Amino acid sequence: MIAVLKLGRTYAGLSSNRGDFEHWIMAGLGVGTDSVTIVDVANGDALPLYSRLAGAILTGSHAMVTDRLPWCETLARWIPGAVERHIPILGICFGHQLLARAMGGLVDDNPRGREFGTIEVTLNGNARRDRLLGHLGNPIRVHCCHDQSVVKLPTGANRLATSTKDANQAFSVGRCAWGVQFHPEFDAEITSAYIGHHRTDLAREGQDPDHLMAHCTDTSYGPLILRRFAGIVKDRDWDQWQ
């Protein structure tokens, strides 16, 4: 069973038409609802027992990791135990940042400003043989929307990808835990909606929201990465990893 740890909700206007983070993730994974359990961590659901997990996905959130909300701190204490047990983990955006901080990294406001839109992410040498990101082509085009970033990776983590505004777009830590700052579950419509919600802040930074929205394009890389993660969970050799 893959646990989607729901760490926040999207905008009401968007969810009424398109669903929420967990629905987009499940669609990208390409698995049935009987293979996924939703754990609404931000709304007080208890964290799953490690022994009942085949894998876990940490969703995005409108919260900030640096706010250190109580539920966020509880999850940060839970994450190292999952990593140590070699449970496959995928952290997305906020989840990527929380994974990094829980393992000893540092999260703060992105020193290069907000990063929104369909962007190019460059994979480095570490990613070539990576089970999640290897052999995807280079660069890849993905969807992004974030104010904060992982400004320092955990000790022993492997940087896998960068972008013009973020040195740590993707990393791995332990045997099978990954963080991606971008949103593999987003499509062009969702990304454009997020740009619209942050129009004023983006314009204040000198960015052009209309230009960013006009250049939002659908890409196959996000769903491919999610399907790969589902495959990693499915093919996991329990005797080897536990």
Q: List active site positions.
A: 93, 183, 185
- Kindly give, in sequence order, each residue whose CB lies less than 8 Å from that of residue 18, ignoring residues fewer than 6 positions away: 10, 24, 189, 190
Structure tokens at 187: 């499509």
C-alpha angle 75-58-225 in degrees, rounded to nearest 5: 155
Tokens of residue 172, six digits: 């791995």
DSSP 216: -
Concatenate the DSSP letters of all residues of 102-168 into one string.
Answer: HTT-EEEE-TT--EEEEEEEEE-GGGTT-TTTTTS-SSEEEEEEESEEEEEPPTT-EEEEEETTEEE
DSSP letter for 232, please.
H
DSSP annotation string for 41-101: GGGTPPPPPGGG-SEEEE---SS-GGG--HHHHHHHHHHHHHHHTT--EEEETHHHHHHHH
Would you state the structure tokens that stand for residue 131, as one six-digit string? 């089970």
